[in-house]
Structure 1
Amino acid sequence: MSADVAGYLVVAVVGIAGLLLFGVAMVMRRMLAPVSANPVRLTTYESGVDPVGSHWAQTQVRYLGFAFLYVIFAVDAVYLFPWATVLRDADLGAASLAEMGIFIAVLLVGLVHAARRGLLRWLP
């Protein structure tokens, strides 16, 4: 068996094992889980708090801005740190530097957008 076919065989075996484990877990859940449907189990449950009052409530949209900033800085760290660790490799060259420059430019566009919306102010 050649090395190319062996690689595909390993991927196929891992995929089949994953599907098999998933199937076994679903069958076991069906066999072991309680099936009783009572009114308490059918109520709405949100973040550990029982719903009280009417079904309509406004939420704070400012948390979306914090999530936006987190994504900008988390993605930045995920891509910049590994790239910086192999920066001394001669094979990376100017193309890699240009790609990272484009990536940082896109992140800066997001950061400027957040600053213009006032998300970077410390005081409300």
Structure 2
Amino acid sequence: MWMSYIIATIIMLLSILVIMISTILSKKMINDREKNSPFECGFDPKSSARMPFSLRFFLIAVIFLIFDVEIALLLPIIIILQWSNMMMWSIVSMFFLLILLIGLFHEWNQGALEWAN
């Protein structure tokens, strides 16, 4: 029992030592303006490197990803039907679909699905 405590202590100390050494060695020395600016053939940039991003497009992309994952979760429900209890399968499937529909109606009411205003 004591041997496992000793080994755990040694492993903790080695981990802390490695973390401390890596933080000391990974520090940047000097941050100057030239290193932090975007590179355009040796000249100063003509415009800002950060382009404005459409938040509406990002919201639609996130909603698409969420519903894409939900569809991937719905597909195995059909395969599970042959190995599960019909009553339990129906309850779980309807509950899952109800949650998806409530989420869809909420996004619709919030106006998240309207691309053009």
TM-score, with length taken from structure 2: 0.50
TM-score, with length taken from structure 1: 0.48
Larger radius of gyration: 2
